[in-house]
């Protein structure tokens, strides 16, 4: 259940209620909103009388949270979560655009990508230094060297860095360089990794597993929130189906569905979601039309020579055209880009 505090509730009253909740053997998690603070009381509350909490000082009301994902749910927080880190802002009225190559390959490539995507309007730079590859013989990423190149790209352009962390033991290293930790589709249910990313203090971009349900995605996000990290963005990147004309099937109904169920920002990845460059611009527009808070797009200065995912990467000109289309859709919806 959640304990909704009155607008004017003091910090002492919030602290008092946290103690009361913990005294009942429940976990208390404070969610600070713009208007008011709510405290999620998590655990087996079957024997807790909500009336006993309702009479607490500064308490407005106590309401049950029906969803299994307690902190991620809309019930716990009515207003959208807005995440800000460096050049990246997501969750408000502005559309965030995270763009860059699948992998960091060398300094020239990542700098050319960063400068070009920034000029076209991207608000953050993506690029993998640790790459999850289906085959152990494929390029695995430049690892720390790649992270250093991303840091140079940030210094040069001011763009915030979004990069994947593959393993729990790498979280401290990646967190030294990244602005946002990306948890990839293959790791969505790696619960130890979710916990350490949660504890890193950095915002997390959590990608949907190709076979994961919405509830599983939201419960995965709950691990990060439960570790004390409120800054989680969810990413729809396509799922496995019987269909073979695209690399994955990109279900965009998940965007309004997630907005109904959670306050967390929603990002769409039309690059992995389709697996074909020529399908990306329209699906990026469709994602914006569906209400996405952000896009993550693979852009490479020379997709033909890319060391990973070149077949789904936009070149600079294609990215500029995609931005133009997305801008028109965003404006039509009253969003800034």
Kindly list the residues in this chain that would bind Mn ion in the complex (CB under 5 A).
102, 309
Contacting residue, 142, 185, 258, 297, with ligand PEP by CB under 6 A: 185
88 binding partner (options ligand PEP, Mn ion, none; Cβ < 5 to 8 Å by kind): none
How many Å apart are CA 236 and CA 64, to the nearest integer? 28
Name which of 236 and 309 has its Cβ closer to Mn ion: 309
127 binding partner (options Mn ion, ligand PEP, none; Cβ < 5 to 8 Å by kind): none
Which tokens sit at 225?
């929130």
Tokens 């999620």 belong to residue: 40
Cβ distance 60 to 5 under 8 Å?
Answer: yes
Q: Across the strands, what pairs with 309?
A: none
Contacting residues for 58 by C-beta, under 8 A, at least 6 apart: 5, 6, 8, 9, 10, 13, 14, 16, 17
DSSP string, 183-239: E-GGGTT-HHHHHHHHHT-S-EEEEPPTT--HHHHHHHHHHHHHTT---EEEEE--B
- Identify the H or E element spanning 226: helix 214-226
Q: Tell whether residue 300 is a contact of ligand PEP (CB under 6 A).
A: no
Cβ distance 98 to 275 under 8 Å?
Answer: no
Using the contact rule CB under 6 A, the part of the chain among 31-39, 57-65, 142-150, 179-187 near ligand PEP is 179-187
In angstroms, the Cα distances linking 146 to 67, 111, 131, 138, 187 are: 40, 12, 11, 16, 20
CB 192, min distance to ligand PEP, A: 17
Name which of 62 and 178 has its Cβ closer to Mn ion: 178
CB 225, min distance to Mn ion, A: 26
CB 83, min distance to ligand PEP, A: 18
Q: φ and ψ at 329, to 5 degrees?
A: -65, -45
Name which of 58 and 141 has its Cβ closer to ligand PEP: 141
CB 283, min distance to ligand PEP, A: 14
**Local structure of 242: helix, strand or coil:** coil
Name which of 45 and 298 has its Cβ closer to ligand PEP: 298
Name which of 105 and 309 has its Cβ closer to Mn ion: 309
**If phi over 0 gives left and psi between -120 and 50 gives alpha, with beta otherwise, what is residue 245?**
alpha
Contacting residue, 91, 100, 184, 270, with ligand PEP by CB under 6 A: 184
Closest CA to 298 of 135, 131, 84, 149: 131
Q: Tell whether residue 132 is a contact of ligand PEP (CB under 6 A).
A: yes
How many Å apart are CA 214 and CA 257, to the nearest integer? 9
Q: Tell whether residue 128 is a contact of ligand PEP (CB under 6 A).
A: yes
The site string for ligand PEP over 200-229 (x = CB under 6 A, - otherwise) reads -------x----------------------
User: Shortest Cβ contact with ligand PEP: which residue?
Assistant: 184
Q: φ and ψ at 161, to 5 degrees?
A: -105, 125
Name which of 257 and 311 has its Cβ closer to Mn ion: 311
261 binding partner (options ligand PEP, Mn ion, none; Cβ < 5 to 8 Å by kind): none
Closest CA to 76 of 87, 67, 85: 67
Q: Tell whether residue 193 is a contact of ligand PEP (CB under 6 A).
A: no
Binders of ligand PEP in range 94-113 (CB under 6 A)? 102
Q: Tell whether residue 237 is a contact of ligand PEP (CB under 6 A).
A: yes
Binding site for ligand PEP (CB under 6 A): 102, 128, 132, 184-186, 207, 237, 272
């Amino acid at each position: 259940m959640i304990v909704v505090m009155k607008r004017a509730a003091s910090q002492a009253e919030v602290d008092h209620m946290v103690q009361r909740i913990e005294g009942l053997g429940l976990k208390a998690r404070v969610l600070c909103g713009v208007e008011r603070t709510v405290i999620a009381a998590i655990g087996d509350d079957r024997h807790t009388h909500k009336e006993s909490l309702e009479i607490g000082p500064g308490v407005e009301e106590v309401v049950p949270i029906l969803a299994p994902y307690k902190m991620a749910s809309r019930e716990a927080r009515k207003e959208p979560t807005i995440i800000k880190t460096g050049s990246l802002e997501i969750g408000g009225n502005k559309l965030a655009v995270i763009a860059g190559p699948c992998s960091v390959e060398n300094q020239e490539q990542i700098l050319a990508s960063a400068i070009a995507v920034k000029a076209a309007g991207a608000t953050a730079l993506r690029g993998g230094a640790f790459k999850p590859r289906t085959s152990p013989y494929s390029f695995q990423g430049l690892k720390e060297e790649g992270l250093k190149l991303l840091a140079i790209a940030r210094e040069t352009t001011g763009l915030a860095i979004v990069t994947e962390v593959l393993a729990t033991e790498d979280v401290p290293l990646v967190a030294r360089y990244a602005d946002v930790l990306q948890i990839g589709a293959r790791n969505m249910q790696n619960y130890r990794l979710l916990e350490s990313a949660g504890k890193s203090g950095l915002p997390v971009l959590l990608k949907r597993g190709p076979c994961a349900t919405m509830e599983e995605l939201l419960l995965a996000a709950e691990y990060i929130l439960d570790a004390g990290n409120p800054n989680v963005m969810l990413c729809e990147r396509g799922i496995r189906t019987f269909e073979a004309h695209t690399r994955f099937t990109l279900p965009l109904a998940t965007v309004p569905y997630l907005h109904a169920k959670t306050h967390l920002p929603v990002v769409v990845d039309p690059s992995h979601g389709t697996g074909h460059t020529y399908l990306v611009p329209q699906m990026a527009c469709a994602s914006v039309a569906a209400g996405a808070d952000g896009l993550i797009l693979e852009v490479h200065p020379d997709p033909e020579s890319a060391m990973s995912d070149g077949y789904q990467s936009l070149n600079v000109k294609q990215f500029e055209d995609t931005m133009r289309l997305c801008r028109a859709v965003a404006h039509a919806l009253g969003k800034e880009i």
